[in-house]
Amino acid sequence: MTAETARDELAALFDETETLLGGDWENRDDPAPYECTTASGGVGVQYAFSRLGDGATDEATIDAHLDEVAALWGEHGYETEVVREGDLGPRLVGGNDRRSRITFAMSTEGSFLSGGSDCEPGSPEASEPVSE
């Protein structure tokens, strides 16, 4: 897989997550490729994604959305875990064997999707930026 294909796949997963959750979302994805370390220890390329969305009305809705997103991400090969720490509120953390790490957090004030695409062999200088 190329870094650009990995980028496009994660962008599509985040788009699918937004559709699942509904509401309005602001795309703050970073178009520039950046260096990472591949699963085999080599130099690779990833792309960073960040999206801001609407909040939920109550804790039960937040928990239901965490479960829905976990199921969706699991269908795409991500192992997920809900993390509850201090005042941050719950967040769903996902990862796969190609060194992609993604996070979904939701409160009554807003939602947040963030993460990096699979780390694929290559260099940022030779990779394509995301076209705007």
What CATH number has the domain bearing residue 112? Answer: 3.30.2030.30
Confidence of residue 129 (pLDDT cuts 50, 70, 90): low
| The predicted structure's pLDDT at residue 128 | 63
User: Taking a C-beta distance cutoff of 8 angstroms, is the pair 49, 30 a contact?
Assistant: yes
Mean pLDDT of 55-80: 94
Instruction: Note whether residue 10 is domain-resident.
Output: yes
- In the structure encoding, which two tokens stand for residue 57, read together? 């009305």
Helix ranges restricted to H, the chain: 3-21, 59-75
| The predicted structure's pLDDT at residue 116 | 92
Tell me: pLDDT of 54 over 90: yes
Number of structural domains the chain divides into: 1
Mean pLDDT of 126-132: 60
Mean pLDDT of 91-97: 92
Instruction: Note whether residue 131 is domain-resident.
Output: no
Instruction: Note whether residue 129 is domain-resident.
Output: no
Distance, C-alpha 106 to centroid of its chain: 14
